[in-house]
A and B are shown apart, each in its own frame.
Chain A
């Protein structure tokens, strides 16, 4: 059947960490369903327009999607970049708050009348690490880590990190993981990606990694000089194949 690509997008409220009401940018498929869901975790610069475009892209391709505003508490009524600056000055989003807010978005997607009950999580940049964290902690069906820094690897000496590596918790991973990385990236470096892959192998996890030559960090971002069209196009095809397998199909 020909896909209509019709969607409805708007900011919505839902219950996040600690019972707090936060908001998110929701793009849902116009149709009867059932459709799987995808939570899109934005990068450190915040709940910005390019990430909302990604959210709409999922809806245009048959997924109900929500991008939670992870900086809602820093400023619900200010520009997203101002909220991001405040969040950054405070050291970023605590892991428990992140898990609670993404978990709320997962439940909001499952509660949609058109939901098929399956939800995946994808994150970019700092959101890549956070997506992996959600794969360890939340009842989700698939996860995609796009060049998330500090899942593995140790921070350089003197680096005042507010985040800790997660690799020692790889055994807890509870859903299939797709990882997309640039070989010219420094965080995560190719060695750190290899380290994570070794941990996934050791714990017999279902995963698939793709490494792109000539690509560094943020190669998916069309509004940045780091954009690499060939890598991004292949990456998008890998993402949809992954979600088709684990959110649309019988796997998982």
Chain B
């Protein structure tokens, strides 16, 4: 299916793309056809800085299972860091 559903969020941080490191200000999250990953649908995340143009993007396409595992990993890492990470 084409879900057309994109969940966007403002973020603060950096990502490394084709031209090196850059600051990222936005993340688009959607579950839909991937461009590259060998699955029918994937959980896709685009880390971007829209002010720098379409090329300022770091993209991942994850299977649904691995996306959920990633969420757990992120939560576990933040939890382990305790209040210092909050």
Is there a chain B Cβ closer than 8 Å to A56's Cβ? no
Residues of B contacting A46 with CB < 8 Å?
35
Contact flags B21-52 to A (C-beta < 8 A → 1, else 0):
00000101010111110111000001010100
Establish whether residues B1 and A185, one from each chain, have CB atoms under 8 Å apart when the complex forms: yes
Main secondary structure of the interface of B (DSSP, over half): loop
Cβ of B59 to closest chain A Cβ, rounded Å: 6
Complex contact A160–B5 (CB within 8 A): yes
Q: Given A79-B55, A186-B1, A45–B6 Cβ distance below 8 Å?
A: no
Q: Which residues of A contact B35 (CB under 8 A)?
A: 45-46, 48, 81, 84
Contact of B54 among A86, A149, A224 (CB under 8 A): A86
Majority DSSP secondary structure for residues of A touching B:
loop
Measured between beta carbons, the chain A residues less than 8 angstroms from B54 are 74-75, 78, 82-83, 85-86
| Known A75-B55, A78-B55, A88-B28: A125·B33 in contact at CB below 8 Å | yes
Contact call A163/B4, Cβ cutoff below 8 A = yes
A225/B1 contact (C-beta < 8 A), A44-B33, A78-B54, A85-B59 known: no
Which residue on B lies nearest to A223, using beta carbons?
Answer: B38
Number of residues in B with C-beta < 8 Å to the partner? 25
A163 to chain B minimum Cβ distance, whole angstroms, is: 7
Contact partner of B57 (CB less than 8 A), chosen from A82, A162, A225, is A82
Known pairs A88-B6, A89-B46, A163-B4; A43 contacts B33 (CB<8 A) = yes
In the complex, what's the smallest C-beta–C-beta distance from A23 to chain B, in angstroms? 15
Which residue among B53, B54, B55 has the maximum number of chain A CB atoms within 10 Å of its CB?
B54
Asked if B33 and A218 sit within 8 Å, CB to CB, the answer is yes
Residues of the A chain whose Cβ atoms lie less than 8 Å from the Cβ of B1:
149, 185-187, 217
Please determine whether A45 and B38 come into contact, CB atoms closer than 8 angstroms: no
Q: Is the CB of B48 within 8 A of A85?
A: yes
Residues of B within 8 A of A226 (CB): 40
A118 to B50, CA, bound (A): 41
Q: How far is the CB of B52 from chain A (nearest CB, A)?
A: 11
B residues neighboring A (CB under 8 Å): 1-2, 4-6, 8, 26, 28, 30, 32-36, 38-40, 46, 48, 50, 53-55, 57, 59
